[in-house]
Amino acid sequence: MTNAWDFEFTAIDGQPLPMTTFRDHPVLVVNVASKCGLTPQYDGLEKLYAEYRDQGLVVLGVPCNQFMGQEPGTEAEISEFCRTNFGVDFPMTGKVDVKGDGAHPFYKWAVEQVGEPAEPVWNFHKLLVGKDGKLVNVFGPRTDPLDPEIKAAVEEAL
């Protein structure tokens, strides 16, 4: 696999979600959870998406239950939670593993590209994919989505 466009997720509604859908757009891929101390970052992710979507940014939420079982719900429950509590309008995938042997191939690829910093250590780990499908930046879970460092990276990727 040569870039992010080579991968496919399943959307939260069960439909195929090939990453080629986002070709020529920067994509901020974020593993998310509904019952985490960092869950309020959904608000910042939605604001970031609203601010830059017309310029081409895609935020992709990737629910994951690998960190202390903080995403136990079904895809329907996760979707409802995100819409109701945070007005989430950005695309989301079905639940996947993001680390270890069972990690989704996208996440294994990300680690192959930049090493350990790409492997999520907790919920709300952020991977920025450039318009060309290459991994261009990694942000830790505690980096707020509206942090100037993320916004600057997004603006450069646009």
126 to 13, 15, 80: CA distances (angstroms): 22, 23, 22
SS3 of 152, please? helix
CA distance 139 to 143: 6
> Of residues 36, 45, 60, 136, which has the active-site annotation?
36
Calpha distance 37→119 (Å, rounded): 20
Give CA–CA dist 26/156, Å, rounded: 10
Distances, alpha carbon 21 to alpha carbons 78, 91, 149, in Å: 22, 11, 26
Query: What residues contact residue 45 under an 8 Å CB cut-off, 6+ apart?
Result: 28, 30, 32, 59, 61, 88, 90, 145
- Known catalytic residue: 36? yes
Which residues are tagged catalytic? 36
